[in-house]
Chains A and B, each alone.
With several copies, the nearest count.
Chain A
Amino acid sequence: MPALTAEQEQFAAALHDALGAADVPGAARRWADCCYQPGRALWRTLAGLGVTGLAVAERWGGAGASLADAAVACEELGRHALPGPVPESVAAVPALLAALADDGPANERGDELAGRWLPGLAAGDLMATLALPPWLPYAADAGAADVVLLAEEDVLWLARPGEPRRSVDPARTVSPVTGREKLAGGPAVTAATARALDAGALACAAQLLGAGRALLAASVRHAGQRVQFGRPVGAFQAVQHQLAGVAIGLEFARPLLGAAAATLAAGGSCAARDVSAAKVACTDAACRAARVALQVHGAIGYTQEHDLHLWLTKVRALTGAWGSQSWHRARVLSGDLSWI
């Protein structure tokens, strides 16, 4: 079912509380200056709450929880604009390594690789990122990560990151990578890569949805306080109706996310379709939230002084990551579109 369980709601609330108590925007600003310690400390806090081990099986030290739980966590991480390679480290790399380890022929090698990194990822000691061309031609935040992978066609590489390039999101870089140690090859890698792509796209969709929710909340707060023409701007119908539109978009993107997590976890044949539907809807909803948030904030929202920019730019950066909207829409249409 797409609705959150009571446990998931409690988990989300715990993450929201923990991140709300920490200075995430401050850590993001430091991250933008390539000072990763405060951000890594936050990741360790989250590891303590179980976030980094959600997608890791128990035998590797994780919680062996469902991808639905990982999506719940990523939504909160996006809601707080946590810096770092969230979809990569929390979802995609664990999914990739787990798929390799579970796969028959590549099993031994897969086990070895999983054992090499999954315990550290689960514990929060390691942070991983990956490039997955053509969807991810660069590895995000390779400078902050301990493990940089490259999945190219049917080969998985340990990768060497090149000169990082600045992203529109100041608290993010993207690095071209080259393979330096071949880790595994063959159809098992192809299958594991497909799994990683879906897991990462799902996590990214969740992050976007969370960011969109935060943007709406910030806009409502600002509109209730900012007075122009003798009234709070939030009392003007033009502002109210734009924000209502944002709320509608977010409200109806959310169930797609839950459904995609369920299908993906169950390994159903509709996983690609459902993940893509979720990514399309969450991206659109977040982009709309960002546009309206900027318009409602006005000039103050167009500065780096206001924290809003951390969310605005992250939404823009993640919009093109893990598959473009056109690609995901096409993937929806190539799926089984019968209903029942």
Chain B
Amino acid sequence: MSLAEFRAEVREWLRAHLPAGPLPPVDTAEGFERHRGWERELAAAGLSVVSWPAAYGGRDASLPEWLAFEEEYWAAGAPVRVGQNGLFLLAPTLLAWGTDEQRDRLLPPMARADEIWAQAWSEPDAGSDLAAIGARAARTDGGWLLTGTKTWSSRAAFAEKAFGLFRSDPAGQRHRGLTYLMFSLRAEGVTVRPIRQLGGETGFAEIFLDQVFVPDADVVGTPGAGWRIAMSTASHERGLSLRSPGRFSAAAGRLVELWRRSGEPAELAGQVADAWIGARAYQLHTRATAARLAAGGTLGAESSLGKVFWSELDISLHETALELLGPEAEVRGGPDGRWLDGYLFALAGPIYAGTNEIQRTVIAQRLLGLPR
């Protein structure tokens, strides 16, 4: 199937199956289940995880195909992916570092949204300084006992499972002695306290763990090698997916429409043009990266350039939309309410997945070679 045929199939399917109106917010109990239902529809059509191997529910799509899928998906205005932590962060890690048993056991239910995953990286004292992780994994018969507190765990309020880093070697300092573990949020000893976000939804939660048993089968990779495994995902080729260009091209296209509908005010033309140019730059840059990866290249600290770029673009694009909306901008819901929702969502971009300050330091020291 050619890229164009694949794209056409995706477009056609979305056209035929897209929910009529917007789903309820994903981070409400009802919205979460409605989004799960949508994921199941996608999965039934073989479109939930197109880039995965067919054995796990995917269709072995190439990177360009995956990018095309994402462009079509977001251009169609399709719902956010409730499973994204699992699909885009855990799954690539399992594909790279997991065992066959783990992949066979975990990926198909993830693809079908039978199991939705939360991430559990941060802790109250380990935010931008992630290496300060203090939650412990203590060795026990046949597995590990997890104790500690994880926080800002996105999707944890409603998800089934979670993955994260734990200090398995009490003598290990900072990046050393950490283990990558998966656990059930319904397990004994787990307490989940949902946290309301800026927009009011419980988009993340605090997870209290008290001697939570995790079998050895749910360790990803080698115990003690957790930091390297977690970081490799961030720069893994599918780490691209953290913010696929399709999201921004779709948003920039909608911004241009909004600007035209507002009478093409010249005083905002520059900002609208810059948003479109930025989205286009990100799209082209991602394609070039994909081509490089397809040719055997790797993705390292350069991913920090993209993180800062898309997160700043996302905010300025939405700020421009809100300025165009004037006094309508503050209103939740309603026909233009997605701009405000998108703005609130964008505001988190410079904070999560490594603050932009951390990223700039990585760029300066690792890419430019400035002194530490």
Contacts and interface: CB of A to CB of B under 8 A. Distances in A.
Q: Per the CB under 8 Å rule, do A and B touch in the complex?
A: yes
Interface stretch (A51-59, A64-72, A86-94, A226-234): A226-234
B284 A2 contact: yes
A252 B309 contact: yes
A259 B125 CA distance: 45
A214 B12 CA distance: 47
Contacts of B249: 339
A207 B304 CA distance: 26
B331 A174 contact: yes
Interface residues of B, number: 87
A312 B330 CA distance: 12
B282 A239 contact: no
Contacts of B281: 252-253, 255-256, 277, 281
B200 A304 contact: yes
Give chain A's interface secondary structure class.
helix
Contacts of B326: 134, 320, 324, 327
Contact of B331 (A165, A241, A254): A165
B280 A256 contact: yes
Nearest to B267: A326
Interface stretch (A110-118, A151-159, A291-299): A291-299
A34 B174 CA distance: 47
Contacts of B171: none
Given A255-B281, A319-B329, A326-B323, A302 B371 contact: no
A2 B288 contact: yes
B372 interface: yes
Interface string B300-316: 00100100110000010
Contacts of A216: 368
Interface string A167-210: 11110101000000000000000000000000000000000000
B197 to A, nearest CB: 6
B277 interface: yes
A211 B354 CA distance: 28
Q: How many residues of A sit at the interface, in one of the four size bands?
A: 35 or more
Point out which of A247, A295, A302 has the most chain B C-beta atoms below 10 A from its C-beta: A302
A41 to B, nearest CB: 25
Contacts of B328: 137, 320
B95 interface: no
A332 B277 contact: yes
Interface in A299-340: 299, 302-305, 309, 312-313, 316-317, 319-321, 324-327, 329-330, 332-333, 337-340
Contact of A332 (B273, B343, B371): B273
B269 A303 contact: no
Interface string B245-280: 000011011001001000011011110111011101
Given A298-B355, A338-B253, A320 B325 contact: yes
Contacts of B274: 280, 329
B364 to A, nearest CB: 3
A223 B322 CA distance: 29
B18 interface: no
Contacts of B125: 227
Interface string A229-259: 1011111111111011101100111111011
A269 B198 CA distance: 42
B62 interface: no
